[in-house]
Amino acid sequence: MSAPATRDFRRRSTAALADAELHANLRRATGQTLAKRRALLAELPGADADREAIAAIRAQSHAAREALLAQAKVQLAAAGFTVHEAADAAAARALVLALLEAAGARRVVKSKSMITEEIDLNTALADAGIEVVETDLGEFIVQQLGQRPSHITAPALHLNRRQIGALFAERGLGPASEDPEALTAQARVHLRAKFLAAEAGITGANFVVAETGTLVLLENEGNIGLSSSLPPLHIAIAGIEKVLPRLADLDPLLRLLPLNATGQRAGSYTSLINGPAPAGDGPTARHVIFLDGGRRALAASPEAEILACLRCGSCLNVCPCFRHAGGHAYGGVYPGPLGILLAPYLGGAPAPAGGASAHGPATSLADVCALCDACAEICPAEIPLPTLIWKARTAREAASGAGSARPWRLFAALTARPRAWRFAGALLRLALKPPLRGLTARLAPTWNAERALPAAPARSFAAELARRHPGRLA
Amino acid sequence: MPVLLLVPCYIEHLRPAIGLATARLLERLGVDWRYPADQTCCGQPAYNAGHPDFALPAARHFLRRFGSAERVVSPSASCVAMLRRYPELPGLSPAERAEFAALAPRCHELSDYLVNVLGRETVGARWPGRVAFQDGCHALRELGIAEAPRRLLAAVEGLELVEASDPERECCGFGGVFAVKLPELSAAMADARLAALAAAGTDTLALTDASCLLQLEGRARQRGRPFRGLHLAEILAAEGAAQAGATGGAAQAGVAGDTAA
Ligand code: SF4
Ligand code: SF4
């Protein structure tokens, strides 16, 4: 039996597959990014060494997380940041609201940040009567549609130019256009006014360097730079797993992150922020909120390695499930291979005391994986995603009681009894032949609805071998 | 010491022609081989479904039957990938774990065995026609087998090898329980492979795993798409003399003859 989350995924992905335009958009967008990455990879002989270096850095960060977090807090404070820690999404939202209120800020610009999606910040701000505008083009588009991002680095990859042009025209942002440059220009005009009027800017953080107390932000459009430097108040929200030991650790990360995320040699903009600027130039107050939000529980789980994730999104691009179904089919904040692993811990209801989240193994998406290993092959942090998904699947099975084990108990018994195994095979061949074939097709609807049953041969391989090469039987 | 042949259950019961082609090929290459008739299954279905404990009896049975072999050869990359995972199964005694670990590197997928153990790339096969090759995920990413099957195919007389894998080398959509739990998505993944095959200008696909083959064949038949799925062994076993002057279609009939016999 499938977990409820898998049933919901099946329903949503089937709907997505029936939408030819959506399907084509997903295939094209992910394929183009992968092609760019591949072309660039040929010129980057050091990519393997970078991957190893990143895996080592992330392992070290994981092992020393609490110490690094404490060091980061001290260094950030010394650099002039005000540092907070939030245990869960509700606490993080309350902190942001309190900071905005204290500053009298009613207009907020936001740069693309999955962690703010995770805590559903926009809804909380809107409920408090605060205007919040997404400034990343893709995120701006999904905000206009009232959707969540479909992809962690390309929020609107499920839409094409025609759809985006129609949306902009409908929202009065400019004349209908299918030209990406014209559309970008329309958004820019709209956003420029928002940037200038904003009293606060909210961003995530790609990394936080413990050694120096530095926030690191990578982007392509310049909006993160503006959000974090133009308004008088800057609030950055970072998961507690984002802390890196040293500034030098950025070296391999700044190469592989753009390569894997967008197929670029380097990000267009990299911001390293070391506290508020002198008066009169940029924000006078900077805050960093470190969010646990299920991360410590995840760190103690068998799937802890996923905390090394850099959120580059390349595992989504290469995953055949994501490439066909799109991010919304996963039903949570984080889609794709990493979403399967994060969903039980992050972006859901706050974890009850003791760790296991309300999302728990019972709603596991761990069946949404063909175990093809493509994501593990591409991951710049060398995270063994399919192995972790398989572990989650195993834990889900163990938790779902004897019922799910029954067929496998029988399977196991047969594999240890060659005669019984052969007999079962003979029954299978019989079931695939008339007159039973029609009945079998009806009994195997989930296979047969989409695929024709295989034809049954007259004899098994072993029986044929006994006739043709009897001397080879052992 | 003879090589022991492991033939997966779906070849045993659904496509014996692949096993027979493997047998013919080994005969022709003069390999001393044996088929342990009481073999069962590698246990992968239970393992992938999240029940590694129920893969254990299969693993132990395998060890009893194949443990003393110098080499184990199989026309299924996916099963070989499972054999290589045996040492990590939960519930093993340290002695068993050590035995599995020692046996794992002696287990080979067929093309890997031919090219990397026997050092054979030319096996005396003739197959006229345009053939595309599809990587199986386990062969490609778990076993690192990409070159060997392509080299073997490229050396087949008359065969024109084309690529049908898109650059992402996507999965065929089988994935064990995945195909049953998410049939629509699984079928969409198969459709993408079939479309890539059509784009490569052929309907003949060579594979190293019968599981991928059965998935694609079942989907193609359901949709009425032209498709001829052949295991690598079936092509490599096709002999020059028997195929001389034959068209691709006749060559296929020659292979299919094994099934009908
Ligand atoms: S292993 Fe699973 S999650 Fe990873 S790419 Fe393949 S299907 Fe997607
Ligand atoms: S799991 Fe790996 S590939 Fe996927 S987003 Fe994270 S770092 Fe990138």
Nearest CA of chain B to the CA of A204: how many Å? 31
Q: Classify residue A454 by its DSSP letter.
A: P
Sequence-separated (6 or more) residues with CB below 8 Å from residue B158: B126, B127, B128, B129, B243
Q: Is the CB of residue A335 below 6 angstroms from any atom belonging to ligand 2?
A: no
Which chain A residues have a beta carbon less than 8 Å from that of B16?
457, 459-461, 464
The pairing of strands A269-273 and A200-203 is unpaired
Q: How far apart are CA A116 and CA A320, in angstroms?
A: 27
User: CA dihedral defined by B146, B149, B152, B154, rounded to 10 degrees?
Assistant: -70
**Contact call for B34 and A473, based on CB within 8 A:** yes
Distances in Å between the Cα of B1 and the Cα atoms of A199, B34, B52, B76, B109 are: 80, 10, 32, 22, 18
By the 8 A CB rule, do A354 and A347 touch?
no
B254 pLDDT above the threshold of 60:
no
Q: Give percent of chain B with pLDDT exceeding 70.
A: 91
Beta bridge partners of B33: B3
Q: How confident is the model at residue B255 (pLDDT cuts 50, 70, 90)?
A: very low
Region B237-248 average pLDDT:
56
Beta bridge partners of A243: A208
Q: Which residue has the higher pLDDT, A443 or B224?
A: B224
With b meaning 16 or more CB within 10 Å and e meaning fewer, what string describes A363-400? bbbbbbbbbbbbbbbbbbbbbebbbbbbbbbbbbbeeb
B146 pLDDT above the threshold of 90:
yes
Which chain A residues have a beta carbon less than 8 Å from that of B49?
393, 397, 408
B249 pLDDT above the threshold of 50:
no
Sequence-separated (6 or more) residues with CB below 8 Å from residue B178: A367, A369, A370, A371, B186
By the 8 A CB rule, do A462 and B12 touch?
yes
- What would the pLDDT profile of B14-24 be if each residue is shown by its tens digit? 999 999 999 99
| A-B C-beta contacts closer than 8 Å | 232
**pLDDT value of residue A362:** 46
B61 pLDDT above the threshold of 80:
yes
**pLDDT value of residue B240:** 65
Residue A250 identity: L
**pLDDT value of residue A360:** 46
**pLDDT value of residue B245:** 39
Sequence-separated (6 or more) residues with CB below 8 Å from residue A248: none
**pLDDT value of residue B42:** 96
Which pTM value belongs to this model? 0.94
Q: Is A203 helix (H, G, I), strand (E, B) or coil?
A: strand
B116 pLDDT above the threshold of 90:
yes
**pLDDT value of residue A44:** 86
Pocket test for ligand 1, best of A316, A389, A391 (most atoms within 8 A of CB): A389
Determine the residue among A411, A415, A446, A464 to mutate to test chain B binding: the one whose Cβ has the most chain B Cβ atoms within 10 Å.
Answer: A415
By the 8 A CB rule, do A25 and A160 touch?
yes
B167 pLDDT above the threshold of 70:
no
ipTM, two decimals, is: 0.92
Q: Tens-of-pLDDT digits for all 474 residues of chain A? A: 467 888 899 999 999 999 999 999 999 999 999 999 999 998 888 999 999 999 999 999 999 999 999 999 999 999 999 999 999 999 999 999 999 999 999 999 999 999 999 999 999 999 999 999 999 999 999 999 999 999 999 999 999 999 999 999 999 998 888 998 999 999 999 999 999 999 999 999 999 999 999 999 999 888 998 899 999 999 999 999 999 999 999 999 999 999 999 998 887 889 999 988 777 678 999 999 999 999 999 999 999 999 999 999 999 999 999 999 999 999 999 999 999 999 889 865 444 333 344 444 446 899 999 999 999 999 999 999 999 999 999 998 998 887 889 999 999 999 999 999 999 999 999 999 998 998 888 887 777 788 999 989 989 999 999 999 999 999
In the stretch 411-430 of chain A, residues with CB closer than 8 A to chain B read 411-419, 421, 425-426, 428-429
B115 pLDDT above the threshold of 80:
yes
By the 8 A CB rule, do A131 and A105 touch?
no
Query: What is chain A's mean pLDDT, rounded?
Result: 92
Q: How confident is the model at residue B259 (pLDDT cuts 50, 70, 90)?
A: very low
Give the closest residue to B32 by CA, choosing from B61, B66, B70. B70
**pLDDT value of residue A348:** 56
Residues A418, A419, A422, A423, CA torsion sign: negative
Region B129-155 average pLDDT:
95
**Contact call for B185 and A458, based on CB within 8 A:** no
From B35, B57, B183, residue closest to A416, measured CB to CB: B57
By the 8 A CB rule, do A214 and A274 touch?
yes
